[in-house]
Amino acid sequence: DEERFTTNQRPKSGKNYTSNLVILADSHGRDLSTMVQQKIPKTNVSAFVRSGARFRCVTEEVDKLTDELTKKDHILVIAGTNNVESTGIKHLISEVKQLINKTTHTNLILATLTMRHDHPELDAKITRINTELQNIVSTSKTKIQLLPLHELPRHYYTGHGLHLNKKASLEGHAILTMWMKS
């Protein structure tokens, strides 16, 4: 069963923060908030990580967690890899479109799905999903940014091939930091 996270860690406003970043993620988002907060101290970073969760579970409380965000804030979603084995592409893309519709009041950064080096037979499906995500972003009336995690090479993954290693986390964080500063 997928574990629920609590919503008692809502983004805080304060005189020291110029913007907020809310991270909603499966296990790929672990430790990312700490790294980003250190590099962008003027951004208040809040992370809600649900290890092993599917896209819907990661994003189900997006309304509550982002209702006070504005166009100067960002929400980063890293999810979907846990859907690949059991969910159809159309179903996952439908969930992504629902997320996009719920986040038009702020800036959405959507991570592409990481490759599954632990199950290489899923890579073709992941590639199709990522192509769909790229198409959605390029045709969206809402400004959405992609965090291209699928482009990270194999040496950025742990030995078992499912999770990203520390080097990849730093690379993803560097890309995210660039976008946040622009």
For residue 149, which amino acid is it? L
Q: Where are the alpha helices (DSSP H) in 60-165?
A: 62-66, 89-102, 123-139
Report d(CA 73, CA 93) in Å as an integer.
24
Q: What is the mean pLDDT of residues 149-155?
A: 74
Question: Confidence band (pLDDT; 50, 70, 90) for 172?
Answer: low
Asked, for residue 12, whether it belongs to a domain, the answer is no
Asked, for residue 111, whether it belongs to a domain, the answer is yes
Render pLDDT for 97-131 as a digit per residue (tens, 0 to 9).
999 999 999 999 999 998 877 788 999 999 999 99
Q: Where are the beta strands (DSSP E) in 125-177?
A: 144-147
pTM of this prediction? 0.84
More confident residue, 112 or 9: 112
Domain count, the chain: 1
For position 58, what pLDDT does the model report?
Answer: 97
Asked, for residue 2, whether it belongs to a domain, the answer is no
Give first-to-last CA distance, the chain, whole Å: 39
Report d(CA 176, CA 105) in Å as an integer.
20
Asked, for residue 124, whether it belongs to a domain, the answer is yes
> What percentage of the chain reaches a pLDDT higher than 90?
50
Report d(CA 77, CA 13) in Å as an integer.
21
More confident residue, 8 or 161: 161
One-character DSSP codes across 7-49: S-SPPPP-TT-SEEEEEEESGGGTTHHHHHHHH-TTEEEEEEE
Question: Confidence band (pLDDT; 50, 70, 90) for 7?
Answer: very low
Whose CA is closest to 162, among 125, 129, 114?
114
Q: What is the mean pLDDT of residues 12-17?
A: 62
Q: What are phi and psi of 180, to 5 degrees?
A: -70, -35
CATH number at residue 162: 3.40.50.1110
Asked, for residue 8, whether it belongs to a domain, the answer is no
Asked, for residue 35, whether it belongs to a domain, the answer is yes
Report d(CA 128, CA 10) in Å as an integer.
34
Report CA-CA distances (Å) from 117 to 43, 148, 150, 152, 171: 33, 16, 11, 12, 18
Beta bridge partners of residue 144, listed in sequence order? 108
Q: Domain span at residue 163?
A: 19-181
Q: What is the mean pLDDT of the chain?
A: 82
Asked, for residue 30, whether it belongs to a domain, the answer is yes
Asked, for residue 11, whether it belongs to a domain, the answer is no
